[in-house]
Amino acid sequence: MNSTSHPKGLYLLFFTEMWERFSYYGMRAIFTLFMIKALLFDKVYASEIYGSYIGLVYLTPLIGGYVADRYWGNRKSILAGGILMAAGHFCMFLSASNYDDLSVAQPLLFLGLGLLIFGNGFFKPNISTMVGQLYPEGDKRVDAAFTIFYMGINLGAFFAPLVCGGFGDTGNPADFKWGFLAAGIGMIISIASFELLKNRYLVTPGGDGIGLPPQKKAANNNHIAASQPQWPQALLWVCISILLFCGFYFLTGSGIIGSGIFTVSIAGPAAIITDKTLTPIEKQRIAVIYILAFFVIFFWAAFEQAGASLTFFAAEQTDRRFSGFEIPASFFQSINAVLIVVLAPLFAMLWTFLGQRNIEPSSPAKHALGLMFLSTGYLVIAFGVKDLDPTVKVSMMWLFSLYLLHTIGELCLSPIGLAMVVKLAPAKFASLLMGVWFLSLAAASKLAGILSALYPDPASGVTSAFLGFEINSLYEFFMIFVILSGVASLILFTLAKTLQKMMHQEP
């Protein structure tokens, strides 16, 4: 094998992840539409369910990663996760098959979501970990390998809404089941291909299998025991977590799931950074991760409107007619994925070009740029709907322009954040701190559902309020995201130089 080629195992993982992402994004494309059009849930309730689902999807990888590291290994965890997710999709299929009987459809819906949440927790953190295991330490092909892998994710995300939306989002509530069935079949293809070919291709350069259960070594027992928290400290964090949960539950009305997500998102990172074995420099670097993770919440809370309020907007306020054909609202969720595939190589070249001239922005500055592009995307669509009569629909170009700007923002922020965590995290807490990064996505996703519930319904005349301000129109709704992400961007630009200095401290 030459220095530029990649092991065949990479393409197996590419294929496996592509079909898993097909199942995930295919289900997401029609999920909220199914709830409001078939089950006849109101938008507030549907948004709350959507936010809780996406939030828990990003929370459970902490469990799956822990089980894989300690007991099962990557392979067994991926198999278990895939089976659970396939079962979840088929529960969604059965729910949609009985949409006219809510006493049957609703329990099946929640069972399906539960299976998908826990299945994703076992699948997602482990398939990504296996990519790096294919290469020897220090191999320069790893960055390119993850770029190829990331393309697989977005390829699946691109055609999933087209297939699942094409089958399910037809205007007939009885057809949603076919979209969920397509998602389930995609998951079966994913896990079947992985199981059939894993022993042949998922090996190290030396021919040893990767992703196997960890070996129990007596020499490590003392180290493991020493790294475990003492009971008084563990009890302290349990008490703090209970207080935080009660505070969120009774003071903010976040509900059980929201309160749990927000509690873990605070208590978990706090427990890590107060570890007495950390040096002052390590704490500084971890603080940078936490600060950027906080700002990332504002990005993803607005970005994840794609599966909720922006889908409502596509369905109700967008003129989707093209050459005599009405494009299903779910199809618009493919725009981001195809733009990622097109623009990612250009951004890679851009960062290289700027880096060669010593003018490449720092990681904090790139995060600020991502928030700025996100805010600009919402500003564009806000002006597109300003003073709009509720009976008038706007051109598809407004929604396309928003997704284009959001994709540029994602490329400035998402891959940069993952690389930053790897660079700054102390080796002993590398997995935990990557979990913290996913916790920010969990909190953001739950917040996305809360904010989506503010979406105005012009037909019913129902309004909502945000921080004391009444939301009466789409313009006012979209301006929430303009202000939240715009202010976050400005603050982060102000902090960028300070954070950069904290990142580059030498131990």
CATH number at 158 reads: 1.20.1250.20
Ramachandran region of residue 229, left (φ > 0), alpha (ψ -120 to 50) or beta? beta
Q: Is residue 139 part of a domain?
A: yes
Is residue 371 domain-shared with residue 297, that is, in the same domain? yes
Q: Is residue 127 part of a domain?
A: yes
Give exposure, 441-460, as e/b (b: 16+ Cβ within 10 Å). bbbbbbbbbbbbbbbbebee
Is residue 195 domain-shared with residue 310, that is, in the same domain? no
Q: Is residue 265 part of a domain?
A: no
Is residue 75 domain-shared with residue 190, that is, in the same domain? yes
Predicted local confidence at residue 465, as pLDDT: 66
Ramachandran region of residue 223, left (φ > 0), alpha (ψ -120 to 50) or beta? alpha
Predicted local confidence at residue 27, as pLDDT: 93
Is residue 46 domain-shared with residue 190, that is, in the same domain? yes
Is residue 299 domain-shared with residue 207, that is, in the same domain? no
CA–CA distance from 476 to each of 44, 269, 367, 446 (Å)?
A: 17, 34, 25, 21
Prediction pTM value: 0.78
What tokens does 140 get?
A: 């320069």
Is residue 490 domain-shared with residue 394, that is, in the same domain? yes
Is residue 318 domain-shared with residue 418, that is, in the same domain? yes
Is residue 337 domain-shared with residue 203, that is, in the same domain? no
Is residue 199 domain-shared with residue 346, that is, in the same domain? no
Q: Is residue 30 part of a domain?
A: yes
What is the CA 443 to chain-centroid distance, rounded?
11
How far apart (Å, rounded) are the C-alpha atoms in residues 44 and 34? 14
Give exposure, 378-413, as e/b (b: 16+ Cβ within 10 Å). bbbbbebbeeeeeeeebebebbebbbbbbbbbbbbb
Q: Is residue 109 part of a domain?
A: yes
Is residue 191 domain-shared with residue 285, that is, in the same domain? no
Measured in degrees and rounded to the nearest 5, phi and psi for residue 277 equal -85, -10
Is residue 291 domain-shared with residue 208, that is, in the same domain? no
Predicted local confidence at residue 222, as pLDDT: 46
Predicted local confidence at residue 461, as pLDDT: 58
Into how many domains does the chain fold? 2
Domain that holds residue 365: 277-507
Predicted local confidence at residue 157, as pLDDT: 86
Q: Is residue 398 part of a domain?
A: yes
Predicted local confidence at residue 422, as pLDDT: 66
Q: Is residue 340 part of a domain?
A: yes
Residues of the chain with pLDDT under 50: 1-2, 217-227, 506-507
Predicted local confidence at residue 149, as pLDDT: 75
Predicted local confidence at residue 224, as pLDDT: 45
Predicted local confidence at residue 507, as pLDDT: 41
Is residue 287 domain-shared with residue 188, that is, in the same domain? no
Predicted local confidence at residue 139, as pLDDT: 67
Show which of 212, 233, 260 is a domain's final residue: 212
